Amino acid sequence: MKLGIGRWTMKLKRLLIGGFSLLLAIGLVSQMSVAHADADYDKAKANAPQGLPLSNYFKFGDFAGNSAKVVDTGRSDGTQMVQLTDAKAEVGTIWTGDDYALDLNKNATASMWMYFGNYPVDAGDGMAFVIQNDTRGVNAVSRASDGTVGNGQTLGVWGVDDDPKGTVAQIASRGIQNSWALEFDTYLNSNNFDLRTGVAKQHIASNYPGYAGSYGSGGDFFYLNHNGLMKNSSDPNYLLSSRDNTWKHLTLKWDAAASTITYAFNDKNPATGDAKTATGTQTVTIDRSKIDPNGTGKARWGFTGSTGELWENNLVIFEQLPGIVNSSATATITNTRTDKQIVTGDTIDAGTPLRADYRLDYTSGSKSWTGINAKINLPNSFATNYAKVTYANGKTALLDTSQLSDQALTAAIDDLNTTNNVATVSVYGSATNSSTSSAVSVPAATSHFNGSNALTMASTPAYTINPRNSWQLGLYFGVVGTGTTTTSMTTTADGVDLTGYFTFAQDNTPSSEALINGSAVDLYPSVNGKALSSVKVSSGTSREFSYHIATADLTSGENYVTLTAGYAASTGTVYSTPVTATVTAGALGFQSVSDTINFNETLTGNTETIAPVSQPDVLVSDTRGGKNSWTVKAALTAMSTSFPGTLIYQPGDGSSLSLNN
């Protein structure tokens, strides 16, 4: 951070000799920087990763010369970015409005992309993520002793060092009060704020800008205590800046119970958005009394940025806004035969039945998580049978897998909020390996869940699939020799019977088929992802099976029944590829109900019973079969106008049932 006032004046006096040639050099560098920065900005926009439209979440600090602005990136998805600075001697601040404050009593995640330019040698000064309860609210900013806004090394948040005889308390009083700041500093102030800190050029660090203990004295200069320091010792100029106009990702996690903030920098691939090993991760403990002295449990957050004699493009694109939507996603793979979750490094057999689960959690926020589009990238060598989504409110829907392409599946997800806070996409399938001699390494696959006000992602574990057995077990529905791997059926009153047969041959070649008894082959059924007890194909030599699904195991509407066969061969257990039956079960519901009931009687003031002009139409459809029963119940909702009477139902036996209760 390079300061343009105060101490800079004293240094300038020592450099007056040869000043003419010095000024010429400065002028040349400035022109080159401006030309480069314009191109740099254009490239930053062109390379902008997907983020959120910023709507009305933020407010700009109300002070003269606030350089912060919201800019459209030009992406088709509506991504917008915050530009904090784009010239010399600027200060930009942007803050969440009162309705979108961070709830300090709840966990929260902030996720964003940051850009610092690609000209690190002559760049400055950086930006800061700030949490604050300054009484000035959105107008909080660093101020010099004369009241002017502090730029340069302050980053718009730290106290201004403009008095050689000042104290650390005076410096702290000029910063943003009741705040914590995480600075992203692109300029090393080796004779001032970065003195005695062990900092090597570009760095990330944190402290409390309005707290005197955050600062120290080094003789003629004051310095800032750098907590949670992060630097790039091997390439100190490029912790923040970029050689190729790429963006750097930041994830911050607030742990309410522990009062800690964990920040991971450069933890995503800017080209794909996939997770990668972070350049650095730090966890710092937050003293709540320093950021929320009145114990409100709330705090405003935002960004500040500044430049001095040098400058850069300071840009931010948000993926998740704490206090607005706090959400997360996890991805798991489960062996449905053993109900064991696969972890990174596991090895499984070819043919293993699998379920890939993608769970979306809405934790908290002032808004619902809306417009969620799931872009699921299934692992390689995962053969899909069917997919469904299940919600916390009990709703379940089947997903269309016919459009599955290159292991990619897309689906629209219902809005998530406090009353419906979880959605789980479950994809059922099996592990495949076409080779009988080589294992298949399955890398992690990253899926993205992009909403209108929060973006998140999740990755499946990496695992290995063993070579398949050259002897293969085939399972089919239908008649021997003409079978299929899928079928559709409708239940009867007692359920449904699935029939078919199995084969056992080397490389599925009919001429090499070996005859094995059905009693040696196990059948593993599941209904809508729920595993049922395994059974033998037959009790004797027959290779044909008949499996009964009871009505009680089915739900109304479409059901997915999956069967897998397994045989313990001398070369190891062999499993068939799962086969799937779509079974439609009967349903109970209203076929038609009258919208209105008309009474065309003139009230006389006397007690009387009035019948409707025509009886209401209430038709019940029950296609479940069997000896099922049902009951229709009716009740009167609130009256829209006053009515001096009672609505009753007369079943025909002379009795009357009031609907008012």
User: Same structural domain for residues 592 and 523?
Assistant: no
Sign of CA dihedral 506, 509, 512, 517: positive
C-alpha torsion 113→119→122→127, nearest 10 = 0
- Among residues 435, 465, 495, which one ends one of the domains? 465
Q: What's the pLDDT score for residue 552?
A: 86
Residue found under tokens 């294992």: 439
What is d(CA 539, CA 521) in angstroms, rounded to the nearest whole number?
10
DSSP class of 169: H
Q: Is residue 2 part of a domain?
A: no
Q: Pick from 283, 280, 307, 251: which is nearest to 117 by CA?
A: 307
C-alpha torsion 189→190→191→197, nearest 10 = 100
3-state helix, strand, coil in the chain (%, to 5): 10, 40, 50
The first and second tokens of residue 517, run together, are 């008894």
User: 604 lies in which domain range?
Assistant: 587-661
| Pairing status of strand 248-255 against strand 108-115 | antiparallel
DSSP class of 207: E
Half-sphere exposure of 353 (CA within 13 A, CB side): 25
CATH of the domain at 486: 2.60.40.10
Identity of residue 260: T
User: Same structural domain for residues 83 and 110?
Assistant: yes
Q: What's the pLDDT score for residue 6?
A: 31
What is d(CA 425, CA 458) in angstroms, rounded to the nearest whole number?
12
CB 531 within 8 A of CB 562: no
Neighbour order of strands in the sheet with 260-265: 69-72, 80-85, 314-320, 108-115, 248-255, 260-265, 280-285
User: Same structural domain for residues 125 and 14?
Assistant: yes
User: Same structural domain for residues 311 and 349?
Assistant: no
Q: What's the pLDDT score for residue 11?
A: 28
User: Same structural domain for residues 103 and 245?
Assistant: yes
The first and second tokens of residue 293, run together, are 């002295």
What is d(CA 650, CA 656) in angstroms, rounded to the nearest whole number?
5
What is d(CA 92, CA 63) in angstroms, rounded to the nearest whole number?
10
User: Same structural domain for residues 230 and 275?
Assistant: yes
Q: Is residue 17 part of a domain?
A: yes
Q: Would you tell me how many other CB atoms lie within 10 Å of the CB of residue 540? A: 9
Distance, first Cα to last Cα, the chain: 73
CB 244 within 8 A of CB 40: no
Q: Please state the domain count of the chain.
A: 4
What is the pTM assigned to this prediction?
0.78
At residue 365, φ and ψ (nearest 5 deg) are 150, 165
User: Residue 271, class by beta-carbon neighbours within 10 Å (0-12 exposed, 13-18 middle, 19+ buried)?
Assistant: exposed
Q: Would you tell me how many other CB atoms lie within 10 Å of the CB of residue 580? A: 19
Cα–Cα distances in Å, from 459 out to 19, 379, 444? Answer: 58, 9, 6
**Cα 599 to chain center, whole Å?**
55
Q: What's the pLDDT score for residue 13?
A: 25
Residues 6+ apart with CB under 8 A from 537: 502, 518, 519, 521, 522, 523, 543, 544, 545, 565
CB 295 within 8 A of CB 286: no
What is d(CA 127, CA 110) in angstroms, rounded to the nearest whole number?
16
User: Same structural domain for residues 283 and 363?
Assistant: no
- Among residues 534, 554, 585, which one ends one of the domains? 585
User: Same structural domain for residues 522 and 497?
Assistant: yes
Q: Is residue 294 part of a domain?
A: no
DSSP class of 31: H
- Among residues 465, 481, 497, which one ends one of the domains? 465
User: Same structural domain for residues 547 and 611?
Assistant: no
What is d(CA 375, CA 409) in angstroms, rounded to the nearest whole number?
6
| Pairing status of strand 463-465 against strand 347-348 | parallel
pLDDT tens for 595-639 read: 788 877 777 777 778 888 888 888 887 776 656 677 887 777 766
At residue 237, φ and ψ (nearest 5 deg) are -80, -10
Cα–Cα distances in Å, from 511 out to 506, 515, 564, 584, 635? Answer: 9, 11, 23, 37, 69
125: cis peptide before it, omega within 30°?
A: yes
Q: Is residue 416 part of a domain?
A: yes
At residue 173, φ and ψ (nearest 5 deg) are -65, -20
User: Same structural domain for residues 150 and 18?
Assistant: yes
SS3 554: coil
Q: Pick from 231, 170, 180, 233: which is nearest to 208 by CA?
A: 180
Q: Would you tell me how many other CB atoms lie within 10 Å of the CB of residue 32? A: 12
Q: Pick from 357, 396, 350: which is nearest to 376 by CA?
A: 357
CATH of the domain at 406: 2.60.40.740
Q: Residues, the chain, total?
A: 661
Q: Is residue 296 part of a domain?
A: no
Cα–Cα distances in Å, from 24 out to 14, 19, 190, 225, 282? Answer: 18, 9, 25, 36, 43
CB 484 within 8 A of CB 501: no
Name the β-bridge partners of 618: 593
Buried/exposed 125-160: b ≥16 CB within 10 Å, e otherwise? bbbbbbbbbbeeebebbbbbbeeebbbbbbbbbbbb
Q: Is residue 1 part of a domain?
A: no
Q: Pick from 386, 620, 581: which is nearest to 490 by CA?
A: 581
Residues 6+ apart with CB under 8 A from 70: 54, 58, 80, 81, 82, 83, 94
Q: What's the pLDDT score for residue 558?
A: 86
Task: List per-block mean pLDDT (blocks of 10 residues) for the chain, which spans 661 residues.
Answer: 33 27 31 50 93 92 94 94 93 94 94 86 84 97 92 90 86 97 83 52 92 87 89 73 86 97 95 90 97 97 92 94 93 94 96 96 94 97 95 93 92 97 97 94 96 96 93 92 91 88 81 81 92 90 93 87 90 86 84 81 77 82 69 74 75 75 61
Q: Pick from 57, 148, 41, 44: which is nearest to 95 by CA?
A: 57
Q: What's the pLDDT score for residue 658?
A: 79
CB 397 within 8 A of CB 557: no
What is d(CA 559, CA 566) in angstroms, rounded to the nearest whole number?
23
Q: What's the pLDDT score for residue 187?
A: 82
CATH of the domain at 50: 2.60.120.200
Identity of residue 609: T
What is d(CA 178, CA 209) in angstroms, rounded to the nearest whole number?
8
Q: Is residue 652 part of a domain?
A: yes
CB 183 within 8 A of CB 128: yes
User: Same structural domain for residues 104 and 147?
Assistant: yes
Q: What's the pLDDT score for residue 627?
A: 60
Q: Is residue 659 part of a domain?
A: yes
User: Same structural domain for residues 12 and 146?
Assistant: yes
Cα–Cα distances in Å, from 273 out to 111, 270, 318, 459, 464? Answer: 12, 5, 13, 11, 24
